[in-house]
Amino acid sequence: MKIFIDTADIKQIEEALQWGVIDGVTTNPSHVSKTGRPAADVYRDICGAVKGPVSLETIALDAPGIIKEGRALAALGENVVVKVVNTVEGLKAVRALSSEGIKTNVTVTFSPTQALLAAKCGATYVSPFVGRLDMFGHVGMELVRQIRTIYTNYGYKTEIIVAAVRHQTHVLESALCGADVCTMACDIIRQMFEHPLTEIGIQNFLNDWKKVPLK
């Protein structure tokens, strides 16, 4: 399973890239807003630093506007994936952008039938937001399992990006159910490296090593 980092913070991205486990980046307007920087500068920095797919989100809500923005974003780099909201207008734009060879990520997806439509329109990726569903008493990961079944049943090539990930159990369940990608905050990726038993195990080895005679 691929791991994407979900942020527009170039410092976090650069740090995480050094860990050697990051396959791509997803951003959204909220992440860009938190940087306090112009979007053009943020996008230039991210596209310059990352080789894998970088999702950059369109803001327009009508298909012609999304297509125009999508083309401009795609021109920023070969690895740019145009993020488009899951609406009628959004999916019309996805169909058009896909026919031009522009990669798309259909975002704010909350139902399996929305995901089916995204695949039918040729989306490269679909992003179900599991954590936000959990907040409303649903089981977000159940949506991912349903999308996996639908895509496998019909051979859709659209990749599933599990998004709005809140903890490592989301990551685990994503991998177990065959999601293609999980995108998450820097902190969650960092936590995945950590386990208290690993720390204790290392300390025990180091303590015992001190007792080994030098000669």
List, by residue number, the catalytic residues: 83
How far is residue 8's CA from residue 35's CA, in Å, rounded to a whole number?
7
96: left (phi over 0), alpha (psi -120 to 50) or beta: alpha
- For residue 29, give both structure tokens: 């307007």
Which C-beta is closer to ligand E4P: that of 169 or that of 195?
169
Per CB under 6 A, the list member of 12, 26, 104, 124 interacting with ligand E4P is 26
User: What's the min distance (Å) between Cβ of 123 and ligand E4P?
Assistant: 13
Instruction: Tell me the C-alpha distance between 47 and 154, whole Å.
Output: 33
CB 9 to ligand E4P: min, Å: 13
d(CA 112, CA 130): 12
Of the two residues 6 and 159, which places its CB atom closer to ligand E4P in the complex? 6
Our finding on whether 132 is near ligand E4P (CB under 6 A) is: yes
Task: Give residues with Cβ within 8 angstroms of 49, minimum separation 6.
Answer: 10, 13, 14, 17
Cα 167 from Cα 165, distance rounded (Å): 6
Distances (CA, A) of 53 to 49, 79, 176, 178: 11, 5, 23, 19
Q: Closest distance between ligand E4P and the C-beta of residue 129, in Å?
A: 6
Among 129, 156, 170, 179, binds ligand E4P (CB under 6 A): 129
Q: Does 163 bind ligand E4P (CB under 6 A)?
A: yes
CB of 8 to ligand E4P, least distance (A): 9
| Binding span for ligand E4P by CB under 6 A among 33-41, 46-54, 125-133, 196-204 | 125-133
Instruction: Kindly determine how many residues on this chain lie close enough to bind ligand E4P according to the rule CB under 6 A.
Output: 12
- Residues facing 162 on adjacent strands: 182
Amino acid at 43: Y
**107 versus 158: smaller Cβ distance to ligand E4P:** 107
User: Rounded to 10 degrees, what is the CA torsion of 151, 71, 12, 175?
Assistant: 10
Question: Under the criterion CB under 6 A, does residue 107 sit at the interface with ligand E4P?
Answer: yes
Residue 124 in the binding site for ligand E4P (CB under 6 A): no
Rule CB under 6 A: choose which of 79, 131, 134, 150 binds ligand E4P: 131
Tell whether residue 28 is a contact of ligand E4P (CB under 6 A). Answer: yes
Give the interface with ligand E4P as residue ranges (CB under 6 A).
Answer: 6, 26, 28, 30, 107, 127, 129, 131-132, 163-164, 183
